[in-house]
Chain A
Amino acid sequence: MKAVFLASVTALAISSSMAHAATEPAVVYDQAGKYDKSFNEGVYNGVKKYTADTGIQVREFEPKNEAQVEQGLRRLAKRGYSPIVTVGFNMTSAVEKVAKDFPEINFTIIDGVIDLPNVQSVVFKEHEGSFLVGALASMASKTNTVGFVGGMDIPLIRKFGCGYEQGVKYASPSATVLQNMTGSTGAAFNDPTKGSELAKSQFSQGADVVFAAAGGTGIGVYQAAKDEGKLAIGVDSNQNHVQPGTMLTSMVKRVDEAAYKTYQDSAAGTWKPGMVVLGLADGGVDWAQDENNASLITADMKTKMNDIRAKIISGDIKVHDYMSDNTCNY
């Protein structure tokens, strides 16, 4: 009842402000919201940049719950917004349904795969980026034990964990990797309290570097790391600024680029449906270095990291992709 009410209020808010809409770009964030300092905020940064560069406003929609995703999408499509960038794996089925009903509207889905003639699916080789930060984690670890905190337990997040584990084992074959998932619903991406508890549990088991691939939940993980004087690794956006001195690095995923490019290509008429896969070689994923973590990275680490990075790009190191067979045997 509450959900229906909220949905209709939001729908009203959208429709009243969209009276003038022609083919304008739009974006639908996932439930963690555009200020999660991570995945959604990355997309938001791309949107902001596009608006700043071109002066074109992008219509934004933040669903309050799962039911609103499809309603919001449908409303945007009906009003003729195109292209519509949708953010996150959890939106796949909603986008698929709406895209079928509105063949003339273009959709871009980040992190999901939909095979329709009006949908572009942007996916990333997270396993490569995670491998990199995994290697760095085990170089920085004094206890030879590192942790991983995932958000929702889905293959995509397992992919981060699997890549990370491979990276850790590459740099130190005897290392232990502790892995935890926050939950099995979308809310697992916005539960910092649980994140902090999971991190503390891993610290008590000996971990001293923890990688969170958990959206807003990560904020709690980083706070716990700071409180206990351990190191943490951010995800999606460059999160080094969240806890300077605690953040070893961030596994950046250029979702901002993906959103920006969709709008840019669409305006230029070069937008194409189909799969776009962005890896280390394309600059789609990488590890973040800036003034906030400069003191934590030694010259030796940097050299080793550049070497590993080059080897992944050249194909000398093959990183197993969890999603290719849904197992982490490498």
Chain B
Amino acid sequence: MFETLILMLDATMRVSTPLILAALAGLYSERAGIVDIGLEGKILGSAFAAAAGAAVFGSAWIGLCFGILASVSLAMIHGFACITHRGDHIVSGVAINTIVAGLTVTLSMHWFGMGGQTPALSGDARFLDITFPFADALQDVPVIGAIYSNLLSGHNILVYLAFAMVPVTYWVIYKTRFGLRLRAVGENPHAVDTAGISVSFIRYRALIICGILCGLAGAYLSTAHNAGFLKDMSAGKGYMALAALIFGKWRPVPVLLACLLFGFLDAVAVRMQGVEIPGIGQVPVQAIEVLPYVLTVLLLAGFIGKAIGPKAIGRPYVKERA
């Protein structure tokens, strides 16, 4: 039983990593007042660029750079439309998602001729699992051994990076001058402007960070968790991350917990299939599949309470009316 739990938590870490990265990306963007429904597109774009870069240059790190570059470029397009030209955030975000969904497949067909896939990656072209020191030696120690060797050790570097980003984000958002200004821009941009700070510049910087984090999430999908790009491989993770962001009320630690909950329910769904439960018998696949969604609805309805976003979210900043 304990071992099963450890293995499920192990799977949770793997599954929730892209959610955590994307949700934190959304946190920077939305805290600065920019609605980012384009998380999905940025993840997908980065997944493709990372896999393509890694396949061509044979290095996961070069792939990661390409992934981040692609994702930041998309974020800048979003910024150009929403900040500079005061366009509608949702429209721009949806446009990015649609463009990326088509463009990735088209480009990969053109470049690799494999029907929207990139070549399978192996060796250095992927982020491989890291085994902690003494993990093998501690394997047999009860409880601690299982936690250290099976749960904490044996993930790839992006997983650890994702978890490390949570305290970093907390520190940046709440403890730095930049974070204070970023939050202020999302709540009351006029006040920031009055203080002589450029609202646009802060928002652009928030979107760059958002792009970098989405780039990590995408690269994780295609060069760490899987070994290559497949069409539509983000499979709604951007939207899940957005839900987690609202679930966690735009705060780093609750957002982390929401992502872990989603990941854990996914792991449970995988694990519960075909298992005989005493008194009930074998639970049908469909019932298990629906479990994460039902629980999400119940938790949202009963325990979380009202989620209130940043005040100036989705509203373009207009300096003065002519």
A binds B: yes
Is residue B39 contacting chain A, with contact meaning CB distance below 8 A? no
Contact A204-B289, Cβ < 8 Å, known A33-B231, A180-B273, A197-B267: no
Contact A201-B115, Cβ < 8 Å, known A179-B274, A196-B226, A220-B226: no
Is residue A127 contacting chain B, with contact meaning CB distance below 8 A? no
B11–A180 contact, CB under 8 A? no
Enumerate chain B residues within 8 angstroms of A34, measured Cβ to Cβ: 115
Cβ of B107 to closest chain A Cβ, rounded Å: 15
- CB contacts under 8 Å to A, within B221-273, are 221, 225-228, 230-233, 235, 266-267, 270-271, 273
CA of A35 to CA of B14, assembled, Å: 27
B286–A184 contact, CB under 8 A? yes
Is residue B114 contacting chain A, with contact meaning CB distance below 8 A? yes
Residues on A lying within 8 angstroms of B by beta carbon are 2, 33-35, 153, 178-181, 183-184, 187, 190-194, 196-198, 200-201, 204, 216, 219-220, 223, 227, 242-243
B115–A153 contact, CB under 8 A? no
> Which of B226, B228, B271, B285 is within 8 Å of A184, CB to CB?
B285
B11–A197 contact, CB under 8 A? yes
CA of A191 to CA of B233, assembled, Å: 7
A153–B116 contact, CB under 8 A? no
Using an 8 Å CB-CB cutoff, how does the interface string of B112-136 with A read, 1 for contact, 0 for none?
0011110010000000010000000
**Chain B CB within 10 Å — which of A192, A193, A216 has the most?**
A193
- Interface size grouping (class) on chain B: 20 to 34
> Which of B7, B129, B228 is within 8 Å of A204, CB to CB?
B7
Is residue B15 contacting chain A, with contact meaning CB distance below 8 A? yes
> Which of A33, A187, A242 is within 8 Å of B116, CB to CB?
A33
Is residue B98 contacting chain A, with contact meaning CB distance below 8 A? yes
- CB contacts under 8 Å to A, within B155-211, are none
B226–A223 contact, CB under 8 A? yes
CA of A197 to CA of B15, assembled, Å: 8
Closest to B129 in A: A227
> Which of B7, B221, B230 is within 8 Å of A190, CB to CB?
B230
Closest to A242 in B: B120
Please provide the 5 A-B residue pairs with the shortest distance between their CB atoms, ordered closest to farther. Answer: A35-B115, A204-B7, A181-B285, A180-B273, A153-B285
CA of A196 to CA of B221, assembled, Å: 12
Closest to B232 in A: A190
Enumerate chain A residues within 8 angstroms of B230, measured Cβ to Cβ: 190, 192, 216, 219
CA of A2 to CA of B228, assembled, Å: 27
Closest to A41 in B: B115
Enumerate chain A residues within 8 angstroms of B266, measured Cβ to Cβ: 197
Contact A193-B233, Cβ < 8 Å, known A181-B285, A200-B11: yes
Enumerate chain B residues within 8 angstroms of A181, measured Cβ to Cβ: 273, 285
Cβ of A229 to closest chain B Cβ, rounded Å: 12
Cβ of B264 to closest chain A Cβ, rounded Å: 12
Cβ of A208 to closest chain B Cβ, rounded Å: 16
CA of A227 to CA of B115, assembled, Å: 24
CB<8 Å pairs between A and B, sample of 26: A2-B98, A33-B231, A34-B115, A153-B285, A153-B286, A180-B270, A180-B273, A181-B273, A181-B285, A184-B285, A184-B289, A187-B235, A192-B226, A192-B233, A196-B225, A197-B14, A197-B270, A200-B11, A201-B7, A201-B267, A201-B270, A201-B271, A216-B230, A220-B226, A223-B227, A242-B120
Closest to B225 in A: A193
Cβ of B228 to closest chain A Cβ, rounded Å: 8
CA of A275 to CA of B59, assembled, Å: 51
Cβ of A104 to closest chain B Cβ, rounded Å: 33
B289–A183 contact, CB under 8 A? yes
Closest to B284 in A: A153
CA of A197 to CA of B266, assembled, Å: 10
B14–A33 contact, CB under 8 A? no
CA of A190 to CA of B14, assembled, Å: 19
Cβ of B168 to closest chain A Cβ, rounded Å: 26
CA of A196 to CA of B233, assembled, Å: 13
Enumerate chain B residues within 8 angstroms of A180, measured Cβ to Cβ: 270, 273-274
CA of A198 to CA of B228, assembled, Å: 18
Enumerate chain A residues within 8 angstroms of B231, measured Cβ to Cβ: 33, 190
Enumerate chain A residues within 8 angstroms of B120, measured Cβ to Cβ: 223, 242-243
> Which of B98, B116, B232, B233 is within 8 Å of A35, CB to CB?
B116
Cβ of B204 to closest chain A Cβ, rounded Å: 29
Enumerate chain B residues within 8 angstroms of A200, measured Cβ to Cβ: 11
| 20 more A-B residue pairs beyond the given contacts A35-B114, A184-B289, A187-B235, with a C-beta to C-beta distance below 8 A | A33-B231, A34-B115, A35-B115, A35-B116, A153-B285, A178-B274, A179-B273, A181-B273, A181-B285, A184-B285, A193-B226, A197-B14, A197-B270, A198-B273, A200-B11, A201-B267, A201-B271, A223-B120, A223-B227, A227-B129
CA of A204 to CA of B232, assembled, Å: 28
CA of A227 to CA of B225, assembled, Å: 10
**Chain A CB within 10 Å — which of B14, B129, B225, B285 has the most?**
B285
Enumerate chain A residues within 8 angstroms of B221, measured Cβ to Cβ: 193
Contact A198-B274, Cβ < 8 Å, known A183-B289, A192-B230: no
CA of A8 to CA of B129, assembled, Å: 45
Cβ of B293 to closest chain A Cβ, rounded Å: 13
CA of A81 to CA of B189, assembled, Å: 61
Cβ of A235 to closest chain B Cβ, rounded Å: 17
Cβ of B121 to closest chain A Cβ, rounded Å: 9
CA of A33 to CA of B109, assembled, Å: 13
CA of A243 to CA of B14, assembled, Å: 22
CA of A40 to CA of B284, assembled, Å: 28
CA of A219 to CA of B118, assembled, Å: 12
CA of A219 to CA of B228, assembled, Å: 10
Enumerate chain A residues within 8 angstroms of B14, measured Cβ to Cβ: 197
Enumerate chain B residues within 8 angstroms of A243, measured Cβ to Cβ: 120
CA of A62 to CA of B271, assembled, Å: 33
